[in-house]
Chain A
Amino acid sequence: MGRVVLVTGISRDIGRRFARAATDDPSIDRVIGVDAVPPRGDIGDVSFVRADIRTPVIAKVIAKEDVDTVVHMSVIATPGSAGGRGTMKELNVIGSMQLLAACQKSTTVDRLVVKSTTTVYGSGPRDPAMFTEDMGPKRLPSSGYAKDVYEIEGYVRGFARRRPDVDVTMIRAANVVGPHVSSPLTNYFRLPVIPRVLGFDPRLQLLHEDDLMRVLRHAATTGVPGTFNVAGDGVMTLSQAVRRLGTPSVSLPRFAVGRLGATMRQARVSDFSPEQLGFLTYGRGVDTTRMRTVLGFEPQFTTAEAFADFCQSVAPAVREGAGRA
């Protein structure tokens, strides 16, 4: 008897691709995708159930389909795609709470995988070089994606306490890059001229999209409980990344970059949130020892390789225009 996996957030590219990949796994019988809007691409053998995770309907879906593994990927990072910050917060936080409530009531669910992010650690001048899983942010996030994720993690921990029989795996993924990823960071790197914060050269640690797929599948099939940082090996600095990309960059004082970001957000060119600005000023590194020793996962791409793969996908026109000479 294989597993029945419920994947939330299937309308987004990464959720859809994960769900499709999961159907190929021999230990998984069925994959059920849930979202408020239908997925845009091909979902293969995944059965799609249109349900809003902000409503108790999700509990019925779990009960009816005898779901035993829930993969929560419905935490969105950009208010633009959701239709405003208010909606984004509601989708993220209320959605997660409803989902956890449904899981708590369910008698069949014995495994929960939550895709979180290393953004919860924040970025600041007083950060340690590498965050381990038991460190928290130096300063609590006050708004945006980071705050949502921080709150969701709190609810997930509460759930894990109340239902110790359920294996809860929290994957704190580093910034995901890859040819198909559209995230604030990849949009930033796709800008024709990259604005940088004058006098700061943040360290970036990246995760390739394929590795994200693999680690979620690994977590869904093995069910190792705990919280794990997942990132490619090594770090690279922003200046290095920009040079490897071959895009021209311009250094501006921090407040000017913030202004520019706000303008770009209004113009819908790029989503440049305050935590993104912090990340591009101070950077972040995470320790992945536990990913190897406890979770037993080995990423295929290092940070540099993941970025190189991403570079190839950036339109050649942009790269040639850089004047490499």
Chain B
Amino acid sequence: MREEARRPRGDDAVVIPIGTGGRPGRGTGSARPSSAARNLAPSARKASARKASAGKAGARKAGSKPRDAAGPTAAPSGEESAPPPPDETSTDGSAQAPTTGIPVGEWLAAAQDAAQEVFGADWERRVAELMAFVRRRLEGHYEVDDYGFDRELTERFFMTALRPIAEKWFRLEVRGLENIPAEGGALVVSNHSGTVPVDGLMTMLTVHDHAGRSLRPLGADLVFKLPLVSSLARKSGATLACTEDAERMLSGGELVGVWPEGFKGIGKPFSERYKLQRFGRGGFVSAALRTGVPIIPLSVVGAEEIYPLVGNVPSLARLLGVPYIPITPFFPWLGPLGLVPLPSKWILEFGEPIRTDTYEPGEAEDPMLVFNVTDQVRETIQHTLFDLLRERGGVFG
């Protein structure tokens, strides 16, 4: 009853009352005042109530009447003395709005402007979508696939965060997009460089934005051992680089990305930039042969220069169980500032697919064939890298 009685008064007011609307007590204003507040308040309850019911006219009167009626029945004796003179401040406040606060209309206009600034012209729909997204996330009502890939989070969050870096910082140039099949399994094989696997993230973004597909990277054991990295990797679609997972994904029609150089590639010194390292045992080739999917060679130029690796601390790396501890001209000397990658110019070129469906699946067991195809992929990437380097001109051009 008390709440109902208070509501009309709030509607009248043009001012946003700060706190409880004048009554002492807990923040809501509808609850019983705390004992501390009751003790503080002068015992002027009866006087103020009488004044309110008798003195005011019009709308104000309609508002206070029910409250007056409710007062004696609902409130225990202790409260009789509690409610205070400040009753009047809120009514008076409405008269002198400019001095006591900012009008509600201005608040609303400001909020609308801000929303328009952030979300654009159709901000209402966008905000509603965002709220729905946040609610879904908080309640856990989203889907992940068998590998733990959270498509919604990846597309709405990770990709959005990476896009400006790709477009503004590295100025990605993409070639050979027509070589990515629109559907069906395929294996993207890329060179690996840059001390930190930023090239993997950029490739994922490129494939998502330009080819409209999700690249599913195969990651090293270490990725799934590290806290935080492991959960982010699974959520963004990665899985362990092992034969079982690679074949399962490829036969499931996914576009799989693999960096066969592994840590030898990203952890190589700056002096060896753009020289491809050994391609492991060619496990990716046998996976492609067994599932009959095409291999798409990808050459990435630019990633080598983002963190020029000039030194390593092997003993510390062994101690921490990581493949290397990078020393660049800026890290660790400049601290966190040294983590900012250099803004090199990137070019990604997807090469012509190498078909594997002409071979029998049984031929995947033939080591000679596997090595030949591996070399073919490796040579393609290496030559494309040299061509791209000649074309690029300056590192930061």
Using a CB–CB cutoff of 8 Å, the interface residues on chain A facing chain B are 125-130, 132, 135, 197-201, 203, 234-237, 239-244, 253-254, 282-283, 285, 287, 324
Contacts and interface: CB of A to CB of B under 8 A. Distances in A.
Nearest to B225: A125
B371 to A, nearest CB: 25
Contact of A237 (B141, B144, B225): B144
Given A199-B227, A285-B146, A128 B140 contact: no
16 contacts: A125-B240, A126-B224, A128-B244, A129-B146, A129-B248, A130-B244, A199-B227, A199-B231, A203-B146, A236-B144, A237-B144, A237-B150, A240-B140, A240-B142, A243-B138, A243-B139
Contacts of B228: 198-199
Given A129-B146, A198-B227, A237-B148, A203 B242 contact: no
A127 to B, nearest CB: 7
Given A128-B242, A243-B139, A199 B226 contact: yes
B221 A125 contact: yes
A135 B226 CA distance: 24
B235 interface: yes
A interface secondary structure, majority: loop
Given A237-B231, A244-B139, 12 more contacts: A126-B242, A128-B244, A128-B248, A129-B240, A129-B248, A201-B231, A235-B145, A237-B235, A239-B140, A254-B227, A282-B224, A287-B248
Given A130-B248, A200-B230, A125 B224 contact: yes
Interface string B230-247: 110011000110101100
Given A203-B144, A236-B144, A243-B140, A129 B231 contact: no
Contacts of B235: 201, 237
Contacts of A234: 143, 146
Nearest to A242: B140
Interface in B100-140: 137-140
B331 interface: no
A201 B140 contact: no
Interface string B187-231: 000000000000000000000000000000000010011111111
A257 B92 CA distance: 58
A201 B148 contact: yes
Given A243-B140, A282-B224, A200 B231 contact: yes
Nearest to B230: A200
Contacts of A244: 139-141
Given A125-B230, A126-B221, A130-B248, A235 B140 contact: no
Contacts of B239: 129
B147 interface: yes
A128 B218 CA distance: 11
A97 B230 CA distance: 40
B244 A135 contact: yes
Interface of B: 137-148, 150, 221, 224-231, 234-235, 239-240, 242, 244-245, 248
A200 B227 contact: yes
B139 A128 contact: no
Contacts of B230: 125, 199-200
B148 A203 contact: yes
Nearest to B235: A201
A241 B140 contact: yes
Nearest to B141: A244
Among A135, A239, A285, which residue has the most Cβ atoms of chain B within 10 A?
A239
A126 B144 contact: no
Which 9 pairs from chain A and chain B are nearest by CB?
A199-B227, A243-B140, A201-B231, A199-B228, A128-B244, A244-B140, A125-B224, A125-B225, A240-B140
B216 to A, nearest CB: 10
A314 to B, nearest CB: 14
Nearest to B138: A243
Contacts of A128: 240, 242, 244-245, 248
A203 B150 CA distance: 12
A279 to B, nearest CB: 14
A58 to B, nearest CB: 39
B385 to A, nearest CB: 31
A285 B142 CA distance: 18
A135 B141 CA distance: 32
A76 to B, nearest CB: 30
Contacts of B248: 128-130, 287
Contacts of B144: 203, 235-237, 240
A283 B240 CA distance: 13
A117 B340 CA distance: 48
